[in-house]
Amino acid sequence: GDSVTQMEGPVTLSEEAFLTINCTYTATGYPSLFWYVQYPGEGLQLLLKATKADDKGSNKGFEATYRKETTSFHLEKGSVQVSDSAVYFCALTHRSGGGADGLTFGKGTHLIIQP
């Protein structure tokens, strides 16, 4: 079955540091890839997505590139802020001609940014 592996935290960084959260996946075919963010006490928000190989998703200074050859979708940000402190989830799903596939999530990475 499908699976997503991401680095487990917590990851603690200082403000303005460079961020990388690794994500690799195992899946058949050509899944769509996502990063979701969960702020404390809230639901999940879509941060960015990529639907085919070499696509780059970007939002709020975060970026991730769909690398089919390494089955990876690493999340990066050049300069993190305290407000980026949250739990980040890498996820995938399949494009299907019918039916509704749920998302397969990684275990989440808790990011803590210190001022």
| Binding stretches for another protein (CB under 8 A) | 32, 34, 36, 38, 42-46, 49, 51, 87, 89, 93-105, 107-108, 110
Q: How far is the CB of 79 from another protein (least distance, A)?
A: 26
Q: How far is the CB of 83 from another protein (least distance, A)?
A: 19
Q: How far is the CB of 76 from another protein (least distance, A)?
A: 21
Whichever of 19 and 48 has its CB closer to another protein, that residue is 48
Residues 6+ apart with CB under 8 A from 76: 18, 19, 20, 21, 62, 63, 64
Nearest in space to 111 (alpha carbons), one of 60, 48, 49, 37: 37
Q: Is 77 within 8 Å of 85 (Cβ atoms)?
A: no
Whichever of 19 and 92 has its CB closer to another protein, that residue is 92
Whichever of 102 and 115 has its CB closer to another protein, that residue is 102
Reduced to 3 states (helix: H, G, I; strand: E, B; else coil), residue 84 is helix
